[in-house]
């Protein structure tokens, strides 16, 4: 949930004991953060780390898992091949909520958190308090394009490590160096040099440029 990650590495078995762990897994196993390890047929292993113990593990077939809890209500993946502009517009254009709230709703689009919602809105020059249904077609098209481009770039840099997030290899994500607006309150906008502001929308923070996001 809010913290934790999966780590992937190699393993060796000798007398039913793990004798060799990848550096990331070894470090966390010593610290007691690894709560579950899957030993895979190809000789690799996948460790589940959760420092704050917020997460849960569900075991079953793909069909069984997809109908459990709220999983069957999740929206489409931002980079799914069948998630085209038309589908994106259909999800956003009828929403009466603020666009920032819509982007964070996992039943609308899955996997978009506070960081990427702020970055997408900044790139599209849209204020986070705009009502989603009032956005023009060209704004939605630009937002869709920016959303996909930003997620592709974030994956390339292994995500954004602001606390304990790590790539499955154990490396921290470095996309934080690329952020244009998130957690830059009081700093100059990279486009117009106006000072970035932060407001609360619902219970979440929103970072934006008051001059070029309208």
What mean pLDDT value characterizes the chain? 86
Distance from C-alpha of 214 to C-alpha of 208, rounded to nearest angstrom = 10
User: How many residues are given for the chain?
Assistant: 214
pTM greater than 0.75 (yes/no): yes
- Res. 176: pLDDT tops 70: yes
Task: Using pLDDT thresholds of 50, 70 and 90, give the confidence band for residue 13.
Answer: very low
Q: Which residues contact 172 (CB under 8 A, 6 or more apart)?
A: 158, 161, 165, 166
Q: Which of 143, 124, 146, 132 is nearest to 100 (CA)?
A: 132
Distance from C-alpha of 126 to C-alpha of 169, rounded to nearest angstrom = 36
Measured from the Cβ of residue 18, the count of other Cβ atoms closer than 10 Å reads 15
Q: What is the pLDDT of residue 55?
A: 81
Q: What is the pLDDT of residue 24?
A: 63
- Res. 35: pLDDT tops 50: yes
pLDDT digits 0-9 by tens, 85-115: 999 999 999 999 999 999 999 999 998 989 9
- Res. 10: pLDDT tops 80: no
- Res. 203: pLDDT tops 80: yes
Q: Which of 152, 156, 93, 84 is nearest to 120 (CA)?
A: 152
What are the Cα distances from residue 66, in Å, to 63, 120, 165? 5, 28, 25
- Name the most confidently modeled range: 55-69, 136-150, 176-190: 136-150
Q: What is the pLDDT of residue 14?
A: 47
pLDDT digits 0-9 by tens, 151-173: 999 888 877 766 666 667 767 77
Specify the residue for token string 């060796």. 12
- Res. 180: pLDDT tops 90: yes
């Amino acid at each position: 949930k809010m913290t934790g990650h999966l780590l992937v590495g190699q393993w060796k078995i000798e007398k039913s004991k793990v004798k060799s762990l990848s550096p990331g897994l070894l470090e966390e196993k010593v610290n007691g953060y690894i709560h579950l390890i899957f030993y895979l047929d190809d000789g690799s292993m996948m460790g589940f780390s959760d420092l704050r113990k917020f997460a849960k593990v569900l075991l079953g077939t793909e069909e069984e898992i997809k109908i459990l809890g709220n999983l069957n209500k999740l929206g489409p993946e931002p980079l799914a091949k069948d998630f085209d502009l038309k589908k994106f517009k259909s999800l956003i254009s009828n929403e009466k909520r603020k666009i920032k709230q819509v982007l964070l709703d996992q039943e609308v689009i899955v996997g978009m958190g506070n960081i990427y919602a702020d970055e997408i809105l900044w790139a599209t020059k849209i204020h986070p308090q705009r009502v989603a249904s009032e956005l023009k077609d060209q704004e939605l098209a630009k937002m869709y394009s920016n959303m996909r481009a930003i997620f592709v770039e974030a994956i390339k840099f292994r995500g954004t490590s602001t606390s304990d997030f790590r790539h499955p290899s154990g490396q921290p994500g470095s996309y934080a160096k690329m952020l244009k607006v998130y957690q830059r309150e009081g700093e100059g906008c990279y486009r117009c040099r106006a000072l970035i502001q932060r407001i609360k929308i619902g219970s979440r923070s929103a970072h934006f440029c008051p001059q070029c996001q309208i």
